[in-house]
Amino acid sequence: MTKKQINQNDSYKNELLNSIDNEYIYESAPISRIKNKIYNIEDKLKSLDELKNKIGSIEDCKLKENASNLVFSDGSIDSQIMIVGEGPGQKEDELSKPFVGDAGMLLNKMLKAININRKDIYITNVVNYRPPNNRKPEPNEILRYSNFLREHIAIINPKILILMGSTAMESLLGSKNKISKERGKWKEVIINNSTYLTMVTFHPAYLLRQADQKKYSWADLKVIRKKIDELEIKF
């Protein structure tokens, strides 16, 4: 490179630097497009509150228009186990709390059977407003709320994610799968570059209607318990 060329390059560099607003060049930390994991409880509470407000401000939503209350979550925000159901029923809508009706009572028993207290895990649903007449959420509703659900999972950051029923499976794994084929196997859900170990299993409301399927659910629960022990998850 000749002296002349060096000088010319320098003048280009100076021109470039002068054209950049100072505000954009003083930051030395790398720009991260990935939301950092939240480890601090206060930050977690704040993020959950912001998410709840975001869901509460949703517009043009048939679910919200017909429901009485927003049903956000229940349990320990610090838990390493997160359960996702479908959507609130009548009782959940009344009490603004997930899984407090008949399906919730069965869920509590299922957890107890593998030595877990419901209060020690974190529970939410795919949609946060009761669908009219307890209908299944429509595909466009599942898709719309899946953004909230993904953010919810990223905030809680569980070690094990349990998807109960086909709606929860559809929300995070797509609609092409059949729950009878997918249940009982460990899968991965990726959110913001983090991988969540995930198990699909039957929904307790389905088990109330199809008691003969409980044996499969019991098999899944035992696999989940084994993983909890392997990962040394403490409650």
Q: Cα angle vertex 226, ends 203, 194, to 5°?
A: 75
DSSP 183: T
| Cα distance between residue 159 and residue 143, in whole Å | 24
8 Å CB contact between 170 and 130: no
Segment (H or E) for 176: none
| Cα distance between residue 151 and residue 137, in whole Å | 19
88 in contact with ligand URA (CB under 6 A): yes
* Among the listed residues 85, 137, 158, 184, the single contact to ligand URA using CB under 6 A: 85
125 in contact with ligand URA (CB under 6 A): yes
87 in contact with ligand URA (CB under 6 A): yes
* Segment interacting with ligand URA (CB under 6 A) among 84-92, 139-147, 173-181, 226-234: 84-92
| Residue closest to ligand URA, measured at CB | 85
Name the pairing type of β-strands 186-191 and 194-201: antiparallel
170 in contact with ligand URA (CB under 6 A): no
* Among the listed residues 67, 72, 80, 89, the single contact to ligand URA using CB under 6 A: 89
* Among the listed residues 51, 80, 82, 99, the single contact to ligand URA using CB under 6 A: 99
Interacting residues with ligand URA between 176 and 195 (CB under 6 A)? none
Q: Is 41 helix (H, G, I), strand (E, B) or coil?
A: helix
Two tokens, residue 172: 């995070």
92 in contact with ligand URA (CB under 6 A): yes
* Segment interacting with ligand URA (CB under 6 A) among 56-64, 79-87, 113-121, 143-151: 79-87
Q: How many residues bind ligand URA (CB under 6 A)?
A: 13
